Structures are given as structure tokens and as C-alpha cells.
Amino acid sequence: MKTLKALLAFGILSITGIKAQSEIKIQVEEDAPIISKHIYGHFSEHLGRCIYDGFYVGENSDIPNKDGVRTDIIEALKAIEIPNLRWPGGCFADTYHWKDGIGPKKERPTIVNQWWGGVTEDNSFGTHDFLNLCEALGAEPYLAANVGSGTVKEFTDWIQYVNHDGESPMAKLRRENGREKPWGVKYWGVGNEMWGCGGNMTPEHYANLYRQYATFMSSWSNDKGIYRIASGANVDDYHWTEVLMRDIPKHLIEGVALHSYSVIDWNNKSSATDFSEEEYFLTMKEALKMDELVTKHTAIMDKYDPDRKIDLVVDEWGGWYDVEEGTNPGFLYQQNTMRDAMIAGATLNIFNNHSERVKMANLAQTVNVLQAVILTNEKKMLLTPTYYVMKMYTVHHDAQLLPISFESPKYKVDGKSLPAISASASKDSNNTVHVSLVNIDAHKTNTVTVNMNGLNIKNVSATILSSEKLQDHNTFEEPNKVQSKEFKDFKLKKGMLSVDLPPFSVVVIEGK
Ligand code: AHR
């Protein structure tokens, strides 16, 4: 397959009148990769109000629930076809001892959540709760297991507990705790952020430790096999990826992780809702940097793994701002505006376009933490702008990538510029074509022409997420202020689809 870089060479840009107009050329390539639905994964940590007072309200709550998990959340996540859910951390993962979270709830020990607010964790939400939740969602569980403060035995016992169907000490324990059949967990994270909260290790030390852990990880009777994910680099720490790829034998690894958040300044992250255009621009600059990160980490992986057997797993990404006023700083509760919709739309387009190597990703985090898709307040629940982007992009799940080429007009602020348009395209198993377009420009409508010739398209429909102000968000008082709706501002003439993309909007085109 031609690289996107090579395809970009075919891009053209023509300016007509006041509006910039870009032509997006779509390439049909039989051997183009499938966009793994796992790129659309989520992450739920024992952090703030993600699990407790988020997903989990307990069996005795007045809030409708299934085994203690809110049914409104289950329904909302099913509607975005959540493919996988990562748990229990994050930094919490390397403090978590899974045996504390099984057996009668009243007898479970408590621990202090040392990373997130120093609150008492009563372990009432444990392995059974999480894996049953994943079953209810129809999502693959992704267990991030403790390496930093755990042992190989603790780790491998967990695998045996959830995956072994025969006679074994852990399968026996699972049955005693009420679960006959194993859950069959495929995705396993071997620690988290081992360069930081996971143990402040050097990559050389971690690579050795990883080899040791991975040697003893067996899938037991899990017919889906086991997929081992090494704790990956922090943003542009390319040396980390280089050492893991160099030092870990290929038969011991299926995925290498990468974490990158869109943060303006770690010491002054600024408000999630009350932000200037300059702050918006800087956030988008960070978000768009994902393309460079994925490209460069992929290049290192290509050097050691030219056949692309090992995947890049971006298992933490999203916007990170100051917490909402009056909330616990350790709980990372933030609102979610149209800016977050821009981050989501553009980042997911990047992942789609790199789906040859990026096979999995997890937005941080699902409920009430960072760039959440759902916020809750007692009985109330709202869906954020990011939720609607995830919903609109479900059409790309497991569809075949259609590589595109175009040259974007610029979004300019104070003499600095970013590409205004981000796009990706795919064709599903019914030959329906979808093109997702994001215009991050805060002021300008950008007209894009999608060249649909050769795709046999007769009917076109579209959905849009847009709003009056960039700072717009849903609140518990006004939960439906921002939501996706039908979009008709396009014209199809002789295979050329002309689309007027309003400022800061996400549009998904469907062509049949
Ligand atoms: O998602 C919040 C935290 O960010 C995670 O616990 C950690 O892995 C990362 O630093």
C-alpha cells in the first residue's frame, strides 16, 4: 500500500472566493487495512467518580442498576458500541491487588488510593463486577495488571482465575465465588506507565521485567488467545519504544502502548469551559501532534518489526484541564465542550489513517474523569459532545480504510497556523462509504469537495455535531444543548460532493 505521505503528493488546494476549498481524493486499495473497532476503546480507572458514584452505585441504590452498575450508563455505552474497556488503571493498576476485590463484599479489605485523592477504596467493585459489566456491554475487557508493586504469581493467578476452565486452584476459587465459566480475557496490560507511577523504571529495566512476566502469562483455556501489551512511552519518548522493540522477543509481545494527553501546560492546564481562542489553539496543536507521535513511534516499530506483527496501542489519550471548581483536585472531574469534540474527531481520524499499526486505543476516561463521554450527578446523567463524536464514528468500526489525500486550508491565530481540516474515510462490509470531516477553525466555514468518483455512490446523507459557541457543553440543567443531528449542507454533482463545514464542527458523510 502506498504511504499516506506519498498520497499527499496528489493533493490539490484551490481557493474559490472567500471560502477555502479543499478537494479530498479517496483512494480505493484492496489491501488497505481494516480500521480495528478497538481503536474506539475506553478506559475506566478507580479514580475520582469514574467507578464509584459513576458506573457503580451499588445494588441498593435508588438509581436503576444491574448488579450495582447504572443501567443508563450501560445503555449509553452500548449505543456507541463500546468495543473494549480498560480497567482498573492507570496509576491505580500498579497498586491494585486483585484478590482484595473478590469474595463477599463485606469481608473485602480496604486500601488507600494513593494516587487519586487519598480516599479509602473498599474494593466493593472488583474482578467479577468489572468482567460482568463488560459482558453486559458486549465489550472486550482489557485488564491492566500490577507489575510495579505486584509479583509474577499474583499476575498469573489473575489470568488463571478469569481464564481457566479446568481444575486449578484459581478456577476453584472463582467457582466458590459464584462464577462457573471463565470470562476469557484476551487483553492484558503488563503494568502502566512504568517510566512514572508504575515504578519510575528505565526502559532497559522494564524490558527485562516484561520478559519475565510475559514468559509466565498463559491464556489457559481462553480460545481467543492472549494479547500482551507492554507499558509504552510517554508522548515523544522514542527511546522507550526503541528499547522495548529491541529487547523484547517478538513471541512475548502483541502490543506496545503509548500515552499522550492534550495539555497546554501541566502547571497551568486552564479551565475546561472558560477558555480563550489562544488556549483552544494550543490544545488543538497538542491534539494534532498525535499524528507525528504515531508516525514516529511506528517508524521505530517498523525497524524492528517490518511485518507489523506488534501493534501500537494508544491506551490513554484525551484532553486534560483544571478540575471543575469546588471538586476534589485528585478526582480529575472536568466538563466537556465543543473543543473536546474537536480533539476526539481529529484524533480518531489520525488513528483511522494509521490503522495499519494502531490497532487499539482508549480514551481517558469513560465517566466523570478527564475527557469523559458520560457525566453523572446523582440520578442525572448527561452525554458529552465527545460521546456524540464516538457515536457518529461507529461507522468506521472494523470497516476498511480508504486512504485519502488532500491539502488542508489553515486555521490561523496570532500568526500561527494549524491545518483546519482533518478527515478519514472507510468502506464497510456493505460497501457503504463513510467520510468523517472535522473543521477546527473557530470562525471560518471551510468548504471541502470529496471526490466520490469511482465509488459508485448514488445517495448521500450526513450527520453533524456543531454548536453556537466553542465553549458550549451539556449541563445537568440543559443536557441536550449539544447533540448530533442530520446535516444537509452538501451538494453532489457528477461524483463531486461539496460540503460546507461550519466552524468547529464534525460531519460524517454516508455514501451508498
Ligand atoms: O488517566 C489519568 C492518569 O493519567 C492515569 O492514571 C495515568 O496512567 C496517566 O498518567
d(CA 322, CA 11): 39
Give me the amino acid identity at 144.
A
d(CA 488, CA 481): 20
Judge whether 336 and 375 are in contact, CB under 8 Å. yes
- pLDDT for 429 equals 95
Q: Which atom of ligand 1 is nearest to the CA of 192?
A: 8
The alpha carbon dihedral of 492, 462, 465, 11 has a sign of: negative
DSSP assignment, residue 478?
S
430 Cα to the center of ligand 1, angstroms:
39
Among 398, 349, 346, 341, smallest CA distance to 373 is for 341
Q: 354: exposed, middle or buried (C-beta count within 10 Å: 0-12, 13-18, 19+)?
A: buried
The binding-site residues of ligand 1, defined as CB within 6 angstroms of any ligand atom, are 45, 89-91, 192-193, 316, 364-365, 370
Q: What's the grid cell of residue 184?
A: 476469557
Among 302, 305, 339, 299, smallest CA distance to 319 is for 339
Encode 386-422: b = buried (16+ Cβ within 10 Å), e = exposed. Answer: bbbbbbbbbbbbbbbbbbbbbbbbebebeeeebbbbb
Judge whether 413 and 281 are in contact, CB under 8 Å. yes
Q: What's the grid cell of residue 46?
A: 478507580
Give nearest CA residue, ligand 1 atom 5: 90
d(CA 3, CA 138): 34
Give nearest CA residue, ligand 1 atom 9: 90
End-to-end Cα separation, the chain, in angstroms = 25
379 backbone dihedrals φ, ψ, rounded to 5°: -75, -20
DSSP assignment, residue 324?
P
- pLDDT for 5 equals 37
Q: 35: exposed, middle or buried (C-beta count within 10 Å: 0-12, 13-18, 19+)?
A: buried
Fold type of domain 4-31+402-511? Immunoglobulin-like (2.60.40)
Tell whether domain 37-240+251-267+309-399 is in CATH 3.20.20.80: yes
d(CA 338, CA 438): 12
- pLDDT for 12 equals 27
479 backbone dihedrals φ, ψ, rounded to 5°: -75, -15
Q: Which helix (H) or strand (E) holds 500?
A: strand 496-501
91 Cα to the center of ligand 1, angstroms:
6
User: Residue holding cell 447504572?
Assistant: 70
- Helix (H/G/I), strand (E/B), else coil: 385: helix
Q: Which of 91, 260, 313, 323 to mutate to test the pocket of ligand 1 (most atoms within 8 A of CB)?
A: 91
403 Cα to the center of ligand 1, angstroms:
32
Can you give 69-126 as a three-state secondary structure string?
Answer: EEHHHHHHHHHCCCCEEEECCCHHHHHCCHHHHCCCHHHCCCEECCCCCCCEECCCCC
Q: Which atom of ligand 1 is nearest to the CA of 93?
A: 6
Catalytic entry in 193, 254, 279, 286: 193
- pLDDT for 17 equals 30
203 Cα to the center of ligand 1, angstroms:
18
Catalytic entry in 45, 140, 279, 316: 316
Q: In what order do the strands lie in the sheet with 433-439?
A: 400-401, 421-427, 433-439, 505-511, 460-465, 485-486
- pLDDT for 14 equals 29
Q: Which of 51, 115, 147, 316 to mutate to test the pocket of ligand 1 (most atoms within 8 A of CB)?
A: 316
90 Cα to the center of ligand 1, angstroms:
5
- pLDDT for 148 equals 98
User: Residue holding cell 468548504?
Assistant: 447
Residues of the chain with pLDDT under 70: 1-21, 220-224
234 backbone dihedrals φ, ψ, rounded to 5°: -90, 110
Judge whether 47 and 54 are in contact, CB under 8 Å. no
388 Cα to the center of ligand 1, angstroms:
24
- What residues does each domain of the chain span? 4-31+402-511, 37-240+251-267+309-399
Give me the amino acid identity at 34.
I
Q: What's the grid cell of residue 480?
A: 441536550
- pLDDT for 28 equals 85
User: Residue holding cell 487499539?
Assistant: 360
- pLDDT for 2 equals 38
Q: Which atom of ligand 1 is nearest to the CA of 364?
A: 1
Judge whether 332 and 43 are in contact, CB under 8 Å. no
Q: What's the grid cell of residue 96?
A: 491494585
Q: Which of 116, 194, 259 to mutate to test the pocket of ligand 1 (most atoms within 8 A of CB)?
A: 259
d(CA 270, CA 81): 32
d(CA 200, CA 206): 9
Among 184, 258, 264, 180, smallest CA distance to 221 is for 184
Active site residue 316: yes
- pLDDT for 410 equals 96
